[in-house]
A and B are shown apart, each in its own frame.
Chain A
C-alpha cells in the first residue's frame, strides 16, 4: 500500500433517510477505526413525552419518522396496552397487521427502487435510472403506491396515519373498501415477484456477517408486530426483558445512542427477520426467495435488497390474506383505561426491531419513556462492516473505496431521522 497518508471525503452521503457522517482511519494499511457519525439534531422525544396523556403517545411518536410512522405508532400502542393490561380483539389485531404491511411495501419499494438499486446499476438517482429504464421505475412507483393505498385506506393517511390509536382504530374500513384495495394489490403481487427476479440478478460483493441477529418472533408466522424477541444464536426473551439484554450507551461521535446485546454488537432488520423466520413466509414468498437463490438464512448485507423484495411479496400476500378473512371489528377501538404501570412493546420497522417502554401514572400521564430505534441498534454492526469492507478492499482507489463504503451503509437502509442525520464520509489514511 503506497498511500500511507490519504484522505477521502464525501461531503454528504445521499440516498439515505437523514443525514450523518462517516470517518474511517487507516494506518499502515490497517483499518484502525470506522465511525458512523450521526449529526441529526436531537429532537428530544423521550423528554417531551413526559407529562403527556397515554392516549396521545402514538400521534406524537409517529412524528419521529416520516418513513416508518406505523412502526412508531405500533410499538407505542403495544407498550401502552401492555401497561394498561388491555388486549385488542383478533379483528383489530388483523387490521393493524394489514396497516403495517402497507408500510413495509411502501418503505421497501422506496428503498429498493429509489435509494438502493441505483447503486447496483451505476446511476446517481431514480430520475437518471428512469431515462434508460422507465418501465422498471414505473413498476417500483406502482408498488410504492400500492403500499400507500393500504396506509390510506386503513390508516387515513400515508404519512402519519390518523385513524390508528391506542386500543385500535377510530373507524374500521368496510369490506367493500378493502375489496377495492385488494383489486389494486393483486397486480402489485406480480410487480413484487418481478422485482424479486430483477434484484436477484444484480452482482453482490461477498461479505458474510458474523454478528448475532435479533428480531421479533412469533410462532408460525413472520413477525411484524408484537411477539417475543429472538436471536439467530438461540436467545429468546419477552419484550419486558429487552432492557436486561440490550443496553444503550452514548458515544461522542453520534446523537444516536449505540446498543449492545448481552455486551456484543448485533444486527436487526431484514437479514435478521429472514434468518430467524424464513420458514414462516407465505408459500408464494418462499417460492420467490428460493427462485432468487436465498437459502434458509441470509447473512450477506449486499443481498438485503433481495430479502426486502421477498418481504414485499410476503407483505402483499399477507395483506390479501387478511382482506380475504376480514371481519369488520366492532367496536373499531377499545377504551384503554390507564393504571400506574410500565409497559413494553416491540415491532419490526422496515429497517429493524423497534422497542418502546412507557411508565404511566395512575391517571395515564407518561412519567418516563424509552425508545430504542433500529438504526441505533445497527450502528455498531454497520461500523464493523465498514472496517471489514475497507480492510478487504484497500487496493481500490479513493473514489471506488468511497463508493463501496456508501453502498455498505445503504445496505442497512439506515433511517437516521429515527436514530437521531448527515452522512459525511471521511476516510483518513495515515
Chain B
C-alpha cells in the first residue's frame, strides 16, 4: 500500500491481543451479519487471528484485547499506541486487568510455582494491569466478553467521528426495559445489577440468575448500600468478597478494603 492509498483508501483497522482468552476479538468474527459489510468499509490491516496478511502501521483504529502481564508487553502496548490514531480497549482484561488480575492480590511467585514445576522459565509481572495504566486510551468497551452490538456501535462511531452511544448506566435499566421481574426483589437472589455497567442486555436476570458483574462497575455506583442488600439476601462476607473478585477484580469501583484477604 502506498502513502497515496493511505490518503484515499478506506480507514485501516488493527486488532491486538495481550493476556486474554480471545473471546473479545472473537466477538468481531461473531458479527456474522455485519462482518462482510464491515470488511467493505475498513481495511483490516492487522488481525492475526483472522488474516495472514499484515500491513504496516500507522492504523486509523486499533482494538486492543487483553491485559499487560509481561515486561515485553509493557513495551509492545507503547508501540501499538504510537501506531494508532485511535485506540479502543475491548473487554474486561484490557479495561480492568481481567480475571488474571487476581494475582495482584496474591503472590505471583507462588502462583507461578503452583502451575509450573520450573518457574524460572516463566517471565511474568507481579500484576495484571489495564491498558490505560500504560498508555492513553480513547474509549473503553466493557464486558467479559464484550457485546457485539456495542462493538459494532463503537466501531461505527469512530469511523464517522462521533461519540459512541454506550450509556454508563446499570444493568437494572436494561432489565427494566426488557420487562424482566427483578430477581433480587422477587426471588431474593443476590444480584450485582444495580452497580454493574450496562451493555449485556440483562442476560443473567433473563435466566433468573443474579448478575455477576462481568461488565464491571458503572460510575457512581453505591456499592456499600448494595453490599447490605446482598447480605440481607443471605450472602456471607466471604461470598460478597468472592463475587466482587472475579473478572473485574482490579476495577476501583469493585475494590473492597481488604479484598482477597478473606479467601
- Chain A interface (Cβ < 8 Å from any Cβ of B): 12-19, 40-48, 50-53, 56, 59-60, 63-67, 69, 110, 114-115, 118, 124-128, 130, 134, 137-138, 141-142, 144-145, 148, 156-160, 162-163, 169-171, 249-250, 252, 255, 257, 406, 415, 417, 421
Contact = CB atoms under 8 A, between A and B. Distances in A.
Contact of A44 (B20, B21, B29, B114): B114
Contacts of A13: 48, 52
Interface string B1-42: 000000000000000011111111111011011011001000
A154 B133 CA distance: 38
B145 interface: yes
B54 A14 contact: yes
A13 B52 CA distance: 7
A17 B214 contact: no
15 contacts: A14-B50, A15-B49, A17-B22, A46-B114, A52-B242, A60-B246, A63-B21, A63-B99, A127-B50, A134-B36, A145-B32, A158-B30, A170-B204, A171-B209, A255-B122
Interface in B83-139: 98-100, 102-103, 106, 108, 110-112, 114-118, 121-122, 124, 128
A235 B242 CA distance: 41
Most buried by B among A43, A45, A137: A43
6 shortest interchain CB distances as A-B pairs = A66-B23, A125-B51, A124-B53, A14-B52, A47-B111, A51-B263
A41 B124 contact: yes
B200 to A, nearest CB: 8
Contacts of B29: 110, 114, 144
A145 to B, nearest CB: 4
Given A12-B48, A43-B128, A255-B122, 18 more contacts: A15-B51, A17-B49, A42-B112, A42-B124, A43-B69, A43-B99, A48-B102, A53-B242, A59-B212, A63-B144, A66-B22, A66-B23, A67-B22, A125-B51, A170-B208, A171-B207, A250-B117, A257-B116
B100 to A, nearest CB: 4
B209 A160 contact: no
B26 A43 contact: no
B36 A130 contact: yes
Contacts of B98: 63
B24 A66 contact: yes
Interface in B225-244: 239, 242
Given A46-B115, A52-B263, A249-B117, A163 B207 contact: yes
Interface string B173-210: 00000000000000000000000000010011011110
Contact of A124 (B49, B52, B69, B200): B52
A250 B145 contact: no
A141 B30 CA distance: 9
A412 to B, nearest CB: 16
A417 B33 CA distance: 26
Contacts of A124: 51-53
Contact of B111 (A48, A60, A110, A406): A48
Interface in B42-87: 44, 47-54, 69-70, 73
Given A12-B54, A15-B52, A159 B206 contact: no
B254 interface: no
Contacts of A118: 52
Contacts of A159: 23, 26-27, 30, 145
Contacts of A53: 239, 242
A258 to B, nearest CB: 12
Contacts of A252: 118, 121
B50 A417 contact: no
A207 to B, nearest CB: 21
Contacts of A127: 36, 39, 44, 50-51
Contacts of A59: 212, 246
A160 B93 CA distance: 14
Contacts of A18: 17, 22
Contact of A160 (B48, B124, B144, B206): B144
B116 A48 contact: no
A308 B122 CA distance: 34
Contact of B203 (A15, A56, A67, A162): A162
A56 B115 CA distance: 20
B216 to A, nearest CB: 14
Given A66-B23, A162-B207, A252-B121, A15 B50 contact: yes
A66 B114 contact: no
Nearest to B43: A127
B73 A41 contact: yes
Nearest to A145: B32
B21 A126 contact: no
B144 A141 contact: no
Contacts of A170: 204, 207-209
Nearest to B239: A53
B240 to A, nearest CB: 12
Contact of A43 (B100, B110, B203): B100
A292 to B, nearest CB: 25
A250 B17 contact: no
A15 B51 CA distance: 6
A44 B105 CA distance: 13
A370 to B, nearest CB: 10
